[in-house]
Amino acid sequence: MLDFNNILSTPGMDVQYFTGQSTATLTQWQTWRKPRGVKNIYILGVGGGSSGAVGANTAATNAGGAGGGSGAQTCVWIPAMFVPDVLYVQTGAGGQQPAVLVSAATQVAGVPTYVALEPFSTTILPNMTLLLANGGTTVGGTLATIAGMPLAARGSYTFFVGQTGTGGGTAGSGAGTTLTFPVTGLMVMGGTGGGGGGGAGVGGLGGSIAAPSGSPINDFFLPAQTGGTSASGATPATAGGSGIITRNFIMNYGGLGGGGASDTSGGVAGAGGNGAPGSGGGGSGGSTTTAGANTLARPGNGGDGFVIIMSW
């Protein structure tokens, strides 16, 4: 393999980042080529986050949609001698609700992330797989096991299950549930639920993301993130904020839930925020059957899965 095009790679370390364009399992592969002279390879992969769920609008008062689950996270370190010159990378896309929303639709799952020796297209072949990180579903991405990626056993590996998004607010003006900052080793998080809708004059608040315990707020950790505000009278609810990546990849934040609708025309529900890469989307606020306030709000998209391959 010639590497004439790697003129500008980092001295002593090749770092490549792949992000999620694979909208279906085993159909869209990207290619990684082993840089000349490398001795070690480190791979970190996260599955796509799931979208938030849709708030309902089929009764006078309705619950908000739940937040999406984050993808699972997997790390592998392996001597380069056990790795072919070319690897195939599928970085799973985050889940997205369809263009036409359906009341109370559950989360759309994120696509799993794979790193494999061959671009298999019909059947998942564990014996050809070096890394697997499952996508988020109605819960956090399922924990991978070495049985699903036995080639990693030539090296060292770690697995983390994804974080489940929080529930939507109860019908009326219930607030979406607050998400606890993950403390399992994950670098991604779930989304929060939308507020409940159809309350008398006011809906529920979108769910918040709590600040991590003990850490002063700084560049690495955000203060507590509040979800969308609820509708009040004819004033519509606001959307939940989208997740960001904090410095040094300390944490990819999930999307926040949208505020719930009021029972007054014009007081429509808020959308959920999109998740940062690998994180869950926020749920949308619940609505009502009241004309002018019964439009379904769009939940946030799950963040795309990603893979970082470092070789040296």
Partner 1 sequence: MLDFNNILATPGADIQYFSGPATGTVLQWQVWKKPRGARWIYMLGVGGGGGGSCGNAAAVSTGGGGAGGSSGNQTTVMIPAMFVPDVLYIQAGAGGAGATTSAGFGTNGIATYVAIVPYTTLSPAGTILVANPGLTSATAPTTSNGGLAPTAQATGGVAGSCLAGRGFYSFLVGQVGGAGGAANAGGPTVNLPTTGLMVTAGSGGGGVGSGQGGTIGTTGFLGTEFFPLLQGGVTGGRAAESGFIARNFLMNYGGTGGAGGGGGSQGTAGSNGAPGCGGGGGGGASNSFPTIAPAGSGGPGFVYIFTI
Please give the residue ranges that form the binding site for partner 1 (CB under 8 A): 11-13, 15, 42, 44, 73, 75, 77, 156, 158, 160, 181-187, 212-216, 218, 220-221, 247-251, 310, 312
- In the numeric block, the tokens 């003006």 are attached to 173
We find the least distance from the C-beta atom of residue 160 to partner 1, in angstroms, to be 6
How many CA atoms within 13 Å lie on the side-chain side of 1?
14
| Complex with partner 1: residue 4 or 219, whichever CB lies closer | 219
User: What's the rounded Cα separation, in Å, for the pair 143 and 251?
Assistant: 19
**What letter represents residue 27's amino acid?**
T
| Complex with partner 1: residue 31 or 218, whichever CB lies closer | 218
| Complex with partner 1: residue 55 or 254, whichever CB lies closer | 254
Q: Which two tokens stand for residue 106?
A: 């559950």
We find the least distance from the C-beta atom of residue 279 to partner 1, in angstroms, to be 15
We find the least distance from the C-beta atom of residue 136 to partner 1, in angstroms, to be 17
DSSP-assigned letter for residue 9 = S
Q: Which two tokens stand for residue 76?
A: 């592998």
In DSSP terms, 235 is beta-bridged to: 232
Do residues 160 and 138 lie in contact, with contact meaning Cβ atoms separated by under 8 Å? no
| Complex with partner 1: residue 118 or 249, whichever CB lies closer | 249
We find the least distance from the C-beta atom of residue 247 to partner 1, in angstroms, to be 7
Q: Specify the pairing of strand 30-33 against strand 14-19.
A: unpaired
| Complex with partner 1: residue 71 or 182, whichever CB lies closer | 182
Q: Which two tokens stand for residue 237?
A: 């609810």
| Complex with partner 1: residue 73 or 238, whichever CB lies closer | 73
User: What's the rounded Cα separation, in Å, for the pair 192 and 198?
Assistant: 19
We find the least distance from the C-beta atom of residue 235 to partner 1, in angstroms, to be 36
We find the least distance from the C-beta atom of residue 312 to partner 1, in angstroms, to be 6
Do residues 195 and 166 lie in contact, with contact meaning Cβ atoms separated by under 8 Å? no
